[in-house]
Amino acid sequence: MQQLRYLVAVSELGSVSAAARSLHVGQPAISRSIRSFEVEHGVTVFKLSGRRLVPTEAGTTVVDAARRALAAIDAVEHEARAVGSQAETELVIATTPTNGLLLTSALSELGREKPDLDIRVQRAGEHDEVLQMVQDQRAEIGFRELHPGVDLELTTKPLAEVEVVLVSPKGSDMPAAVSWDDVVRQPLILPPTGSGRRQLIDDQIGRFARNAPHVALTLEDRGSWVAAAQAGMGSFFSYRCLVADHEGLEIRPIDPCQLVTVGFVHRAGPISKPAARLIEIAETSVGHPSAGRSG
């Protein structure tokens, strides 16, 4: 199955590197797999056309057959999941700590509606790990920030746009709306270097600010950011809907406005009734100030 997925991904994306990124594997693994397939079956599947890899005439036949085979395998998996989920006694969701807070109200309501349902939230350190958990079937659905081209093999369900704001200690000397130059002059509480969240912040600072940030504190535990800011240690970034009701803090929009789309991802095909119900409930709660409070 994996070998067939590699063939289809390279055909659709035009390069081994793009296929590797979309499937979250190393380029050498895909290159070795394709060479092995070509040697084993005595066929050249791809050729270079400019900078793109395109199927040869024989390769087109092979890739089309691979698509049909994968569709048939997926159909078997979908039927098996449908039969296996008839009892629907468990729901496993993968999400990051911050995005998980957006689901608090929805999960509480689902728990009240289905008291016999075993709801398990699998913590992912980064957004890409959410995708991997869903792909590996360690979780039925994932909840994360959504970006264009999230994954070729997963179905996405955008739910809401949430605003990223700067959260600061009470009495901070800053304008009502802050530029990135204002931001980097403040003591900042940031996630660790090398994390996906830190990379996003560093990218925005590099794009919009003229100076490096003033890092006052590096904390991996995002649950401690509020307490650290309330103690006057520095400012941090969060979703507006998660911090709107906290005392001892000031919330400022960032100029230009920072909006991100959050939503669910799941494997193609039908999902269980509890998963569908969670998505339905979340559509009315995610992005609202009550999203981060339990019921």
Give the domain ranges of the chain.
2-84, 90-159+261-292, 162-259
User: Which candidate, 222, 219, 218, 256, places its Cα nearest to that of 238?
Assistant: 222
Per-residue tokens: 177: 């709306």
Domain 90-159+261-292 has CATH 3.40.50.1980: no
Number of other CB atoms surrounding residue 80 within 10 Å? 10
Sign for the pseudo-dihedral over CA of 124, 126, 129, 130: positive
C-alpha–C-alpha distance, residues 52 and 58, integer Å: 17
Residue type, 85: S
SS3 125: coil
CB distance 102 to 261 below 8 Å: no
pLDDT tens string for the chain (295 positions)? Answer: 888 999 999 999 999 999 998 888 889 989 999 999 999 999 999 999 998 999 999 999 999 999 999 888 888 877 776 655 544 789 999 999 889 989 999 999 999 999 999 999 999 878 888 988 998 889 999 999 987 765 557 899 999 999 999 999 999 999 999 999 999 999 999 998 888 788 889 999 999 999 999 999 998 877 789 999 999 999 999 999 888 878 899 999 999 899 999 999 999 888 999 999 999 999 998 866 544 443 3
**Class of the CATH-defined domain 2-84:** mainly alpha
What CATH architecture applies to the domain 162-259?
Answer: 3-Layer(aba) Sandwich (3.40)
Q: pTM of the entire structure?
A: 0.65
Let me know if the fold of 90-159+261-292 is the same as that of 162-259: yes
Per-residue tokens: 117: 């349902």
